[in-house]
Amino acid sequence: MNKQQVRHAFEEHLSALTFSQENQRQVFAAVKRENARKKLSLSLVLAIALTMAASGALAASAVTAYYEKVGFVNNPAYDKWSIWVGSDSFLSELDRIDALVDHLSDGLYEENAIMDTAAKANPAVNASEKKALRTALYSFWKVADPDFFDLDTFDPSHYQASVVYEEGGAGTWHVRLNPAKGAGRPYYYAEVSATNNQLIRIHKLSKDGTRTLKIIYFGVVEMDHDDFTAMGQFG
Amino acid sequence: MDAALTASAVRDMQLKHLMDTYGSQIVKVCYTYLKDAGLAEDAAQDTFVKAYRHLGPAWNVAHEKAWLMRIAINTCKDYLKTSWFRQVNRRITPDDLVNQAAQDPSEERILFDDVLHLPLKYREMIILYYYQDLRVSDIEQILGIARSTIYARLDKARQKLRLTLEGGYRDE
């Protein structure tokens, strides 16, 4: 056995594996996000330092206002951690998400692939399904994988959304974003509580969409039109 | 402000250079650790995101490839340690490669398959020394192990491959 033989054997059998332009784009998107997060953290440290320097109710209310502005709210109900992601342009981003919901709703279908229970017979999209889809999209956007779901680059025509209602207990919506075949994009699906429209889990699926590779978020995401609170653990 | 923009632009250029030059090699090495093409792509992306944190006008690494390999291998080992990875019932090679193996029982195919079946500590020796053509001094840096250990593992890996190539047992 020599180096040339080994190299040749590996090149031959791994030739299909490349680092594509899409991979590069995702790396740049990730570092862009990371830089933005760093700036936010820096702002927070500054705000806390200013608050410590100040005193009394005025300072407390000032920091609360600041937290609300930059979008960070501690929630004592959850002992792990809590983070509220937001920005000055938050509302306009929500509007853009809603536009995506409308777009994806056109092609929304129900499927029976995820659970044992039968899918609903009526394929018409109703308000609950749209609401579940909206929660899932918000969650993909802010919680799951910002590189996958970048509002600037996400093209809804490359995906098809599907929604399944799971009977029993409180009931759960299973929402999947299925990428166009051959796009090399990941599948994700979200479990959304049907009773209070909270996100429960986000799964990242294998490239063929048949098995969970990892649960990348486990927790609760509460959703209102002008509020977004995520509490839980990333996988 | 201009200086900040310049530093950022430099980092972007450095990152682009690293991805263009080593991207595919990194994916392939990650595959030999994770045995899953999708995860290998994820790990390669993570590798470059981690590398980016060190880039900038002052960044100066003598052996870029060895440096990136070290980050990639550590990233893969982190993946391997996670509980979700251990719980997933994965095959040694993806379906398509298994099917390909059935149709392609060439010596090279057998060698490729046998290397991927080696225990990790021997497999990575073959990958880094033979496939990636790295020097022993680079492997020392990448894996943080002594030169004598590298030689011993290389010997052992070669022995195991000879055994499997001659139709002996497969030690997993």
pLDDT, tens only, B9-58: 888 899 999 999 999 999 999 999 988 888 898 899 989 998 998 888 77
**pLDDT value of position B157:** 92
CA angle (B8 as vertex; B7, B9 as ends), nearest 5: 90
Q: Inter-chain contact A17–B24, Cβ cutoff 8 Å?
A: yes
Which chain B residues have a beta carbon less than 8 Å from that of A6? 111, 115, 126, 130-131
Q: Inter-chain contact B111–A5, Cβ cutoff 8 Å?
A: yes
pLDDT digits (tens, 9 = 90+) for B75-101: 898 888 765 565 554 444 444 444 454
Q: Inter-chain contact B38–A6, Cβ cutoff 8 Å?
A: no
Residue B93: name the closest of B110, B61, B117 by CA.
B117
Q: Which candidate from B26, B45, B82 shows the least CB-CB separation from A26?
A: B45
pLDDT digits (tens, 9 = 90+) for B142-168: 888 889 999 999 999 988 888 766 654
A37 — contact with chain B (CB < 8 Å)? Answer: no
**pLDDT value of position B96:** 47
Residue A189: name the closest of A82, A113, A126, A120 by CA.
A113
Contact of A7 with B131, CB cutoff 8 Å: yes
Which chain B residues have a beta carbon less than 8 Å from that of A18? 23-24, 27
Tell me the two tokens of residue B85. 């990875």
User: Rounded mean pLDDT of A50-54?
Assistant: 49
Q: Answer yes or no: is pLDDT of A83 > 60.
A: no
User: Which position has the token pair 């070290």?
Assistant: B70
Q: Which residues pair with A110 in a beta bridge?
A: none
Other Cβ atoms less than 10 A from the Cβ of A143: the count is 22
Q: Inter-chain contact B19–A23, Cβ cutoff 8 Å?
A: yes
Its sign, for the CA torsion A217, A222, A224, A226, is: negative
B97 — contact with chain A (CB < 8 Å)? Answer: yes
Highest mean pLDDT, choosing among A155-159, A183-187, B77-81: B77-81
Q: Please, which residues 50-79 of chain A have a Cβ atom closer than 8 Å to chain B?
A: none
Cα–Cα distance, A29 to B48 (Å, whole number): 12
Q: Inter-chain contact A7–B130, Cβ cutoff 8 Å?
A: yes
A5 — contact with chain B (CB < 8 Å)? Answer: yes
Q: Please, which residues 2-21 of chain B have a Cβ atom closer than 8 Å to chain A?
A: 12, 15-16, 19
Shortest alpha-carbon distance between residue B36 and chain A (Å): 9
In whole angstroms, what separates CA A152 from the centre of its chain?
15
